[in-house]
Amino acid sequence: MSGNTLPPKERMKIPRQAMPEQEADLRRHTFTEVNQGLTVLGATTEALRCLECAKPVCMTGCPVGVKIRDFVELITAGDYLGAASKIREDNVLPAITGRVCPQETQCEGCCILGKKFEPLGVGYLERFVADYEREQGRIGLPEIAPPTGKRVAIIGSGPAGLSAAGDLVRWGHAVTVFEALHEIGGVLLYGIPEFRLPKEIVRHEVNALGQMGVEFQTNVVVGKTVTIDELMTEDGYDAVLVATGAGLPKFMDIPGEHLSGVYSANEFLTRVNLMHANDFPKYDEPVFDCRGQDIAVIGGGNTAMDAVRTAARLGARTSTLIYRRTEAEMPARVEEVRHAKQEGIDLLTLANPVAFLGDDEGRLTAVRCIRMELGAPDDSGRRSPVPIAGSEFELPVAMAVVALGTGANPLVQSSTPDMATNRKGYIAADPETLRTSKRGVFAAGDIVTGGATVILAMAAGRTAAASIRDYLDTGRWDGEPPSPA
């Protein structure tokens, strides 16, 4: 079946193919994608490195269980569309996960080649086949089962909702995805910037789901426009999946947070990514004019990295990332930190804001910070930052973005009183089946776990989809939990 005739020793001699990147000094000023993607030659060469393990451990590292060896074999055989449809059996958003997954801790972290050499570029290859099909104007779709007559409503069109929709529609269920915003994609659209994930690619993947039969309805806020009870009793949905994410921004609760120029990362990124404020006045939504200004972003995760790199692209004179631990503790992907540094982002580590300072007009002029040192490890095992008394200093900035994570938005929960939530407002769901306390209602993704990654949300979406299928097939809710499919 494989087109790879190289003996394993030869395969190991091939170096890992590098991802072509846009030059840092050019890309700092544009929103075009930083990573350019492997060429056909690069992808074929990279695919030849796969050892085609009898027991592919890479698969165990993939949260959605993509059949990595099989799709890589299809690449070596030159069947790129076949490779795409093989991936889509388990992952409906390959062009996206190929770009944003932290592969170093997942599939590639498990690759046998990585023990002695560089691991196989699984993410690069996944991205390659998805990009190939898009460039060809074709989509490698998996087979769709005959209609079951059962209807499922999915609330939220982020990664969890979309991956569940892909599975359910493949099994013959009628699926409607409800989205509060005017476009489908959730954080993939409003959160992750164009230079990491072009929106055209999100639209293409959503289009592929549409071709598989998923129906999308935008401008519907479940909890306000319609309730879960109405979806089930009046609109006749047999099951509901809540995949609304964790979109409620956290602020720091320090003085000056209401000054003009202080943003949540959600607001700053939504204005630029979803509303195209970087293209004002061609687009109507404005955003803080960063040109020639000093700006700061507070946080150390991927969202903080996205915000600070966005501000740099909006023309900021200096862009500083303020993080209370050291670079080693940053939750952001290594590649993102490297790209940020190449683009001239300054890292101000072991510092934490204590106040925002402003002028008479209520505009931000500076962030007052305090130096930190690392103390004893906390419950999570990370060393907690401790303020150093008397070490306060001021960083002059005109805009500050707070990227310290998000919480649970209560809109759906508060309109569904018989669905239990936990202390922090997240939906209580059985970890195996993702059933909630309300019959026929499931929950998946960040609204259950709190803020996590795209691929973990997709994995949860798949788990929920399998439980929903089981419930629709058997009608069983009480008693023994359904056995895994």
Partner 1 sequence: MFPILEAEFLAPEIKRFVIEAPRVARKRRAGQFVIVRLHERGERIPLTIADGDADRGTITLIVQGVGKTTRLMNMLEAGDAVLDLVGPLGEPSDVRNYGTVVVIGGGVGTAIAWPTAKAMKAAGNRVVAIIGARTKELVLLEPELREIADELEIVTDDGSYGRKGVVIDPLCERIMRGNRIDLVLAIGPVRMMQAVAEMTRPSGIRTIVSLNSLMVDGTGMCGGCRVATKEGTRFACVDGPEFDAHIVDFDVLARRNRTYAANEAEALETFRANPNAALEFVRRSCRLDRCHAEGDLAEVSSS
Catalog residues that contact partner 1 under the rule CB under 8 A: 81-82, 85, 137-144, 180-182, 207, 210-211, 218-221, 224-226, 247-249, 251, 253, 257-258, 260-261, 263-264, 266-267, 270-271, 275-276, 280-286, 288-289, 361-362, 409-411
Q: Which is nearer to partner 1, 348 or 411 (CB)?
A: 411
For the CB of residue 18, give the shortest distance to partner 1 in the complex, in Å: 31
Q: Which is nearer to partner 1, 65 or 213 (CB)?
A: 213
Please, is 285 exposed, middle or buried when counting C-beta atoms within 10 Å of its C-beta (0-12, 13-18, 19+)?
middle
Q: Which is nearer to partner 1, 12 or 274 (CB)?
A: 274
Which tokens sit at 357?
Answer: 């300072």
For the CB of residue 361, give the shortest distance to partner 1 in the complex, in Å: 7
Give the residue among 245, 303, 301, 249 at the shortest CA–CA distance from 448.
245
For the CB of residue 346, give the shortest distance to partner 1 in the complex, in Å: 26
CA distance 243 to 457: 9
Give the residue among 256, 166, 46 at the shortest CA–CA distance from 469.
166
For the CB of residue 150, give the shortest distance to partner 1 in the complex, in Å: 22
For the CB of residue 247, give the shortest distance to partner 1 in the complex, in Å: 4
For the CB of residue 134, give the shortest distance to partner 1 in the complex, in Å: 9
Q: Which is nearer to partner 1, 260 or 326 (CB)?
A: 260
Q: For residue 28, give the DSSP letter.
A: T
Buried-exposed string 323-333: b where 16+ CB fall within 10 A, e elsewhere: bbbbeeebbbb
CA dist list (Å): 27 to 21, 98, 178: 9, 21, 35
Q: Which is nearer to partner 1, 117 or 280 (CB)?
A: 280
Give the residue among 147, 196, 186, 139 at the shortest CA–CA distance from 163.
186
Q: Are 216 and 206 in contact (CB under 8 A)?
A: yes
- Pairing mode, strands 399-402 and 262-264: parallel
CA 104, 105, 107, 111 dihedral sign is positive
Give the residue among 201, 243, 191, 207 at the shortest CA–CA distance from 222.
243
Q: Which is nearer to partner 1, 257 or 346 (CB)?
A: 257
For the CB of residue 215, give the shortest distance to partner 1 in the complex, in Å: 11
Buried-exposed string 359-380: b where 16+ CB fall within 10 A, e elsewhere: eeeeebbbbbbbbbebeeeeee
For the CB of residue 163, give the shortest distance to partner 1 in the complex, in Å: 19
Q: Which is nearer to partner 1, 17 or 409 (CB)?
A: 409
For the CB of residue 435, give the shortest distance to partner 1 in the complex, in Å: 26
Q: Which is nearer to partner 1, 200 or 373 (CB)?
A: 200
Q: Which is nearer to partner 1, 285 or 329 (CB)?
A: 285
Q: Are 311 and 340 in contact (CB under 8 A)?
A: no
Please, is 5 exposed, middle or buried when counting C-beta atoms within 10 Å of its C-beta (0-12, 13-18, 19+)?
exposed
Q: Which is nearer to partner 1, 352 or 409 (CB)?
A: 409
Q: Residues, the chain, total? A: 485
SS3 label, residue 406: strand
